[in-house]
Structure 1
Amino acid sequence: MTQFTAKTVLVTGASRGIGLLTAQTLAARGHYVFAGMRDISGRNRDAAQALQKSAAEAGQSLRVVELDVTSQHDCTRVAAEIELERPLDVLVNNAGIMPVGVTEAFSLDQVRACFDVNMFGLATMSQAALPAMRKRREGLLINISSSAGRLALPYFGVYCASKWAMEAYSESLNYELAPFNIQSVLVEPSGHATDLVSTAPSPDRHVTLDSYGPYAAGRDKMLGMFEALFAEGLSGNDAQNVADRIVALVEMPGERPLRTQVGDDMGVTAINEATAPIQSGLIEQLSGVYAVEEAYEGT
């Protein structure tokens, strides 16, 4: 069995799906897990209590914490509370929502709401966790993107845009944090059987939606395709696969890959392999500009 040092890990969006499975798997492996979720005394009360109870009965180190990644106060508070107890080694930025429908028919408020979770939530939580990591010169950010972060899909325009944004933000962080021995890496799952499909927000600009005529039904067709696929129960669509890959990155010694694709490839690996040399060449050209001197002692 591969030996690893137990890590202290914060997982956001841990009330369901990949976040829940990741928190459970990390705790079962012996890591110290903080499972962040919203409204643990309200709508997520049952999920929070069940997760906390099962961990306690198994003698695992897992604690559910109230965390809304769209709240700067929550992010700052949770990061500080964890650091008071033990150094935070790994942040898994998993919280996310997936709007599906005619892109033009989503109101700007809906677009902002998606970015508030998928992009700005990641940025806010990362900013709360990174100062202590930089001071220790050690840490890891695992950012849960999607195949939609490398592809543009009809009816997924808002979701793709938010994931493309987080891909750029996460990769730029990875270059800038390297002198501090911190990595910012991406996990890019394709379709997996979670409730993202059943909870996908729909457009609220109904006049615009109506003007698309029969094409407005694209949302239902796309979601129906995924639901039919997941109903087959194929092992490749099991969300546990994503959780296992996240855990492997947590436990991996040395440098992790910048991008890890999970599930049906959809051409994402080819895109990653094609763009990597171009990106690497650009970074090499710019290295003298952004590199940090070894003698730098700032925090």
Structure 2
Amino acid sequence: MEKKYALITGCSSGFGALMAIELAKNSFHVLATMRSTNKADLLMELANREGVQSHLSIHELDVTSSHSIENLKGLLQQLPSVDVLINNAGYAGAGFAEEVPLDEYRAQFETNVFGTIAVTQAVLPFMRAQRKGTIINMSSISGRAGFPGLSPYAASKFAIEGWSESLRLEMKPFGVHVAMLEPGSFKTSIWSTGKKITEKSLRKDSPYYVYMTKIQDYLDKSEPNYEDPIIVAKKAVSIALKKKPTLRYPVGKGVKTRISLKNLLSWKSWENIILKKLYKNYFINK
């Protein structure tokens, strides 16, 4: 059977590490990339435990560095095929829009959006020439429904949604499929070490401080209910193995319901639900 090759970004932890292992268990050779290979310990520990270390190769890749992207192109030229790309690298920027510096918005887009585009542009010539391949972009429930205090992250994921729609329509005539994973809340580092809250919104003299603490309290109380990220990793594998994947794959408890409700309800009803959850009745009927 012809060996298949998968490239995954952001494999040092979380979804990326688990996706690399699950694809390796399904006989893919996985090019597991991360910004620093010094952070490969967790991935290698998992690989050794599952006995799939021979199906993995670890490579340094900073999706925001043009030099690093050029090195990636050289690496891809050495492969017999590029069958799957999973654009997983990213982080969650947080804070209230008035207080988030433009540089922090730019940094969020550099990784989550432009990093995804840069890696995809490096891979597309290979997939187009071989007339096959699957690209899986990591979106989020935040790419379908905005949340107060998370505008940098939500904006980046909304951008991924629109870009992926266009890319799918561009590449389908060439036999290349584009899909998105849209996870809800899972137990990954993006909501702990991976979340970057702007400094001003954490200060007690911020006009948003109380609102920010209400949101943080809501997220902290919800954390015990976050699901196992292996669910997302297994879903990624199922997409990679499909001959004709669809565009969107919402994943997680209540995610499909939340998206459906947002689409069905009036905006006024939707915002009242969100604000009531976060801030009791303070904003309602103001």
Same fold (TM over 0.5): yes
User: Judging changes above 3 Å, is the alpha-carbon distance between structure 1 residues 216 and 265 closer, same or farther for their aligned structure 2 residues?
Assistant: closer
1:47 and 2:42 are equivalent in the alignment: yes
Give the letter for the 1:216 counterpart: M
Q: Does the residue aligned with 1:99 lie in a helix, a strand or coil?
A: strand
Superposition deviation, residue 245 in structure 1: 0.5
Superposition deviation, residue 271 in structure 1: 7.1
Give the letter for the 1:190 counterpart: G
CA–CA separation in structure 2 for the residues paired with 1:166 and 1:271: 22
Residue 17 of structure 1: aligned partner: 14
Q: Does the residue aligned with 2:166 lie in a helix, a strand or coil?
A: helix
Q: Does the residue aligned with 1:88 lie in a helix, a strand or coil?
A: coil
CA–CA separation in structure 1 for the residues paired with 2:236 and 2:10: 14
Give the letter for the 2:250 counterpart: Q
1:37 and 2:26 are equivalent in the alignment: no
Partners of 2:85 and 2:136 within 8 A in 1: yes
Partners of 2:24 and 2:52 within 8 A in 1: no
| Contiguous gaps of at least 5 residues in structure 2 | 265-286
Match of residue 120, structure 1, among 114, 119, 123: 114
Residue 289 of structure 1: aligned partner: none
CA–CA separation in structure 2 for the residues paired with 1:110 and 1:271: 31
Residue 27 of structure 1: aligned partner: 24
Q: CA RMSD in A?
A: 2.4
Q: Does the residue aligned with 1:201 lie in a helix, a strand or coil?
A: strand
1:56-95 to 2 correspondence within 5 Å? 57-58=51-52, 60-95=54-89
1:232-271 to 2 correspondence within 5 Å? 237-253=227-243, 255-266=244-255, 267-270=257-260
User: Judging changes above 3 Å, is the alpha-carbon distance between structure 1 residues 134 and 148 closer, same or farther for their aligned structure 2 residues?
Assistant: same
Superposition deviation, residue 140 in structure 1: 1.2
1:120-141 deviations in Å (ceiling 9; x for gaps): 1100000011011111221111
Superposition deviation, residue 222 in structure 1: 3.7
Match of residue 216, structure 2, among 220, 230, 248: 220
Superposition deviation, residue 273 in structure 1: 8.4
CA–CA separation in structure 1 for the residues paired with 2:2 and 2:154: 36
Superposition deviation, residue 116 in structure 1: 0.8
Give the letter for the 1:23 counterpart: A
User: Judging changes above 3 Å, is the alpha-carbon distance between structure 1 residues 60 and 273 closer, same or farther for their aligned structure 2 residues?
Assistant: farther
User: Judging changes above 3 Å, is the alpha-carbon distance between structure 1 residues 179 and 208 closer, same or farther for their aligned structure 2 residues?
Assistant: farther
User: Judging changes above 3 Å, is the alpha-carbon distance between structure 1 residues 45 and 242 closer, same or farther for their aligned structure 2 residues?
Assistant: closer
Superposition deviation, residue 228 in structure 1: 3.4
Superposition deviation, residue 109 in structure 1: 1.1
CA–CA separation in structure 2 for the residues paired with 1:264 and 1:223: 15
1:98 and 2:92 are equivalent in the alignment: yes
Give the letter for the 2:70 counterpart: T
Partners of 1:100 and 1:219 within 8 A in 2: no
Give the letter for the 2:213 counterpart: A
Normalising by structure 2, report the TM-score. 0.83
| Contiguous gaps of at least 5 residues in structure 1 | 231-236, 275-299
CA–CA separation in structure 1 for the residues paired with 2:80 and 2:12: 23
Partners of 2:136 and 2:179 within 8 A in 1: yes
CA–CA separation in structure 1 for the residues paired with 2:263 and 2:57: 39
Partners of 1:142 and 1:185 within 8 A in 2: yes
CA–CA separation in structure 1 for the residues paired with 2:75 and 2:249: 30
Superposition deviation, residue 269 in structure 1: 4.9
Residue 278 of structure 2: aligned partner: none
CA–CA separation in structure 2 for the residues paired with 1:151 and 1:9: 30
Normalising by structure 1, report the TM-score. 0.80
CA–CA separation in structure 2 for the residues paired with 1:131 and 1:125: 11
Superposition deviation, residue 259 in structure 1: 0.4
CA–CA separation in structure 2 for the residues paired with 1:49 and 1:115: 29
Superposition deviation, residue 15 in structure 1: 0.6
Moved >6 Å (runs of 4+): 271-274
Q: Does the residue aligned with 1:104 lie in a helix, a strand or coil?
A: coil
Q: Does the residue aligned with 1:143 lie in a helix, a strand or coil?
A: strand
Q: Does the residue aligned with 2:98 lie in a helix, a strand or coil?
A: helix
CA–CA separation in structure 2 for the residues paired with 1:54 and 1:268: 37
1:198-243 deviations in Å (ceiling 9; x for gaps): 121011336797122422324422431332323xxxxxx1110100
